[in-house]
A and B are shown apart, each in its own frame.
Chain A
Amino acid sequence: MNFYDIIFYIFAAITLLSALFVVTTRNIVHSAFYLLFTFFGVAGIYVLLGADFIAISQILIYVGGILILLLFGVMLTNKITNVEIRTGTVHMLPAAIATGIFMGAVVAVMVWTEWKSEPSVIPLTTTKDIGHLLLTDYVLIFELLGILLLVALIGAASIARRDEE
């Protein structure tokens, strides 16, 4: 077994185990903190795939931004332990059929897709290429996303200011 294989299995185990804890634990703050390890494991797998920029963005955006926001939100709720997250199991049959179809579709795609399995040379860095692509081929989408985020920001600021009148 290769050195990198071992690292891959460690990261995969971290991701899967912590994701399992996220959905099974009764304490929502614990859930939020286990999510940290899930994000971290996914970032590690990105690194092993040679996508260094995406891995770091994953940590910066999800751990540094979204998770912290989530923690603030969770810690400000008044009922932290023993929250009844699981709703009652009605509609068992349609749910089973729907999940079965979805699972089948995913597995089918996984099996029938022709994956690029050639041992490609892992690029030294992807940052430059991503930058070039963002400002040439995908510049319209990039700008639109920027405007969307700006709109969200202005909306958030206006909601936060409203009670000052």
Chain B
Amino acid sequence: MSTPMAAAAQHASGDRDSAAPGALPLSIYDLTVAYHSKPVLWDVSLDVPPGKLVGIVGPNGAGKSTLFKAVMELVPRASGRVLVFGKPYRQNRRRVGYVPQRESVDWDFPVSALDVVTMGLYGKIGWCLPVTRKYRQAAMKALERVGIADLAHRQISHLSGGQQQRTFLARALVQDADLYLMDEPFAAVDAATERVIVDILQELKSAGKTLMVIHHDLQTVVDYFDYVVLLNMRVVAAGTTAETFTSENLQKTYGGKLTLLDQATEAMRRSEGSR
């Protein structure tokens, strides 16, 4: 079932046991994830090169968010191995910044934009210790960077969708990570926010950071990303945008070529149900 591109990606992973300082930002080997014994990701293997702006593209339910969650050990892995800069995630957690989907939280929560950004620093502050001024200033700087410092003390439900997304981005920026996982940062944002986010992504990239961005708008993929991963329960193709983002690969990702996989899934579910 593996496509030439996915196979190439697998070959490229080469010798994988070296946890040298030059290790890849993210290496995934044979990752399978299932929710309620329904597989969401099957045998995903992926090597993400450093310093790239990587777009992750695929239809709804393709397992894009699950891929991020599996990398960060937020969902149990049925099988497979994930290395972040050559080590398991829990040993390199601080080098990873995460921007969850905006819809994943209740925006009526009684906190300000500054509070939310400060949450990115809780790990550094440590258990049971209060947020001191030093950390609030760092959070403020991140808000300035995304251009909404003037809204720092506004309760988050009084922010527009774009401003909420910028708040989440600032919370990831404040961690000063080396690998960023961003779950649909461009979803339902205004044009101004989109520009701000694109600028920041470019800035981070030129600072040598690696960025993985789940993206829905196929129109802008070529403009924004220099590397793409086409995902639909498995890696359909991965590589530079110029080589990988072809109509043939898109057809494979979005088209109806997954009947076999669907049947296997259905069969597994039935056997689970009959038990």
Does chain A bind chain B? no
- A residues sitting closer than 8 Å to B (CB atoms) are none
B residues in contact (CB < 8 Å) with A? none
